[in-house]
Amino acid sequence: MAKRRVRRIVRARLVLGLAVAAVLVFLYGYWAPFPYRAAVVAAARRNHLSPYFVAAVVRVESRFRPTVVSRRGAVGLMQLMPASAEWVASKSGLPMHPDLTDPRVNIRLGTWYLQYLLKTYHNNPVLALAAYNGGPATVDTWLQKGVLSPSESGYSRIPYPETSNFVRRVIQFEQTYRWMYGWLTFRKH
């Protein structure tokens, strides 16, 4: 009897272990993949950003597909508009006419732009993300009209549903990436 009980316990633990492993494979591979990790970490570090924050933006914008182009013409992993990318390249010292489908180039330009928006909006990630998605002029208008405040801490008052959803999803995915990949140590290169 005791041997049967021990075998059942061992079998149950094995099944539980396999189920947990399957869930983790799903989470790591599908829900929150982290390809281009080295490029994300390097660019995030260069621009004083959290790699989890950058990974979340990439996940929401393109699901890590480097050649994707939106209906509006945004290109690459971080979904940069070509005109914005040209402006960022001119300000950041990168070559003009960058190849936005090159993951390293796109991430480097996108992270520079994110840190620029964070500085512009006094390190408020909600406003910076809203500007990244809806444009700085739009966010400035919302601030001037009192629709949003400079200390905005949530996404629920953002008038554009698409922008509100973008901000919500990036914030959620940042926490997911922090939880799933927080055990990684991002060494300085």
- How many CB atoms are located within 10 Å of the residue 156 CB? 8
- Where b means 16+ CB within 10 Å and e means fewer, 8-45 reads eeeeeeeeeeeeeeeeeeeeeeeebbbebeebbbbbbb
Burial of 168 (0-12, 13-18, 19+ CB in 10 A): middle
- How many CB atoms are located within 10 Å of the residue 125 CB? 20
Name the token pair of 49.
């950003």
- Per the annotation, the verdict on 174 as an active-site residue is no
- Where b means 16+ CB within 10 Å and e means fewer, 57-73 reads bbbbbbebebeeeeeee
Task: Name the active-site residue from 61, 86, 152, 162.
Answer: 61
Strand partners, 75: 69, 80
Q: Give the catalytic positions in this structure.
A: 61
